[in-house]
Amino acid sequence: MTITFVDLFAGIGGFHLSLSNLGAECVFASEKDKFAIQTYEENFGKGSIQNKDITKLDIDKMPNFDILCAGFPCQPFSIAGLHKGFDDDRGNMFFTLYNIIKNKQPKAYFLENVKNLKTHDKGNTYKVITDHLINKLEYSMNTFTVKTSDYGLPQMRQRIFMIGFRKDIEDTFKEPNKVPLKFTMSDVFEGNCTKDIGYTIRVGGRKSGVNDRRNWDGYLVDGEERFLGVKECSMMQGFPNTFKFPVSDTQALKQLGNAVSIDPVEYFGAELLNVLTYNTTKDGR
């Protein structure tokens, strides 16, 4: 039986690509950014985004699914969002996820957010999230700070993964073993780069220069300064070279800066699917 999932705050489909690679099926996706929708539907098919405003979603009309996947908005829980947290309207997006989980009762969830979600507002933001998921919904929760470079891709990017299961699912989740780099920044640039692992790909602030403290996309390659483009960022994020960006380079780079890294999501997703498969086998369902 095929395991199904929904892709909420879908962006360009990092969760969709990762879990589809593992054999799961996406049955519903939601994204509001018109440029991200263009890229998503270019790669996953016209109409693959079924909802453009999750705040107006009729939950009862959603199909049933096994896993809720969401890279819910980072801004309210990051320095970029000025630490507004739940006082920022975008912070309420977590409560939209909460209501979907409460009503649809999926077997599992897989959430992604910025690293400092745990420390925001002296830990109160994270406390509210865990209280709602664990105490109110009675789901388990496994939280990991995941570095992209620990799972094959040459990028320093760190994100929080939160993975949990419905109370009738035995939670046997184990953190995947770290793996060596598949390639280095020299492979990315096809030249001799002074760094094996690249900086975290970000949104905005491009071409500051290799000596600027704000630099994230400038590297010394074969003795010359070079900057990341769409091809290089896509490779560092784990997207295949067949993945298409029918938008401007500016939009594509923004999308890649907001995307989840494919390989880490695949490794954690594989373990999540193992838990669900184990429970199905164990219970004979």
Predicted confidence band at 116 (pLDDT cuts at 50, 70, 90)?
confident
pLDDT digits (tens, 9 = 90+) for 178-194: 999 999 999 999 999 99
Do the beta carbons of residue 114 and residue 160 sit within 8 Å? yes
| Phi/psi of residue 276, nearest 5 degrees | -65, -40
Considering the domain architecture, whether residues 167 and 26 belong to the same structural domain is answered as: yes
Helix (H, G, I), strand (E, B) or coil at 13: coil
The least confident of 52-66, 77-91, 99-113, 124-138 is: 77-91
Residue 91 has pLDDT above 80, yes or no: no
Instruction: Tell me: do 150 and 163 sit in the same domain.
Output: yes
Q: Tally helices (H) and strands (E) across the chain.
A: 8, 8
Residue 80 pLDDT more than 80?
Answer: no
Which range has the worst mean pLDDT, 65-69, 75-79, 85-89, 120-124?
75-79
14 and 68: one domain? yes
Into how many domains does the chain fold? 2
Q: Are residues 121 and 195 in the same domain?
A: no
In whole angstroms, give the CA distance from residue 186 to residue 221.
8
152 vs 124, residue with greater confidence: 152
- Is there a single domain that holds both residue 125 and residue 60? yes
Under 8 Å between Cβ of 188 and 154: yes
Strands 108-114 and 158-165: antiparallel
Q: To which H or E segment does residue 275 belong?
A: helix 262-283
Determine what percent of the chain is predicted with pLDDT higher than 90: 81
Indicate which CATH number applies to the domain containing 114: 3.40.50.150
The rounded distance, in Å, linking the Cα atoms of 17 and 5 is: 12
Domain that holds residue 244: 185-254
Q: Name the percent of the chain lying above pLDDT 70.
A: 93
Same domain, 243 and 124: no
Are 84 and 107 within one domain?
Answer: yes
Predicted confidence band at 177 (pLDDT cuts at 50, 70, 90)? very high
* Mean pLDDT computed over 271-280: 95
pLDDT, position 35 = 98
pLDDT in tens, 118-128: 887 778 788 88
Q: What is the pLDDT of residues 196-216, one digit of tens each?
A: 999 999 987 789 899 999 999
Q: How far apart are CA 132 and CA 127, in angstroms?
A: 9
Distances (CA, A) of 180 to 86, 97, 152, 189: 38, 34, 5, 19
* Cα gap 193→183, rounded to integer Å: 12
Looking at the DSSP bridge assignments, the partners of residue 158 are: 147
Q: Please tell me the predicted confidence (pLDDT) of residue 30.
A: 98
79 pLDDT band (50/70/90 cuts)? very low
Q: Say if residue 78 is in the same domain as residue 212.
A: no
Q: What angle do CA 48, 49, 52 make, to 5 degrees?
A: 170
Domain shared by 158 and 191, yes or no: no
Catalytic residues: 74
Q: What is the CA radius of gyration of the chain?
A: 19
Same domain, 146 and 89: yes
Counted residue by residue, the chain has a size of 285
Mean predicted lDDT score pLDDT of the chain? 92
Name the DSSP letter for residue 278.
H
From residue 141, alpha-carbon distances to 131, 204, 277 in Å are 10, 33, 18
Residue 15 CB neighbours (<10 A): 29
Same domain flag for 103 and 189: no
Q: What pLDDT does residue 160 have?
A: 96
Same structural domain, 126 and 82: yes
User: Is the pLDDT score of 83 beyond 80?
Assistant: no
**Stated pTM of the model:** 0.93
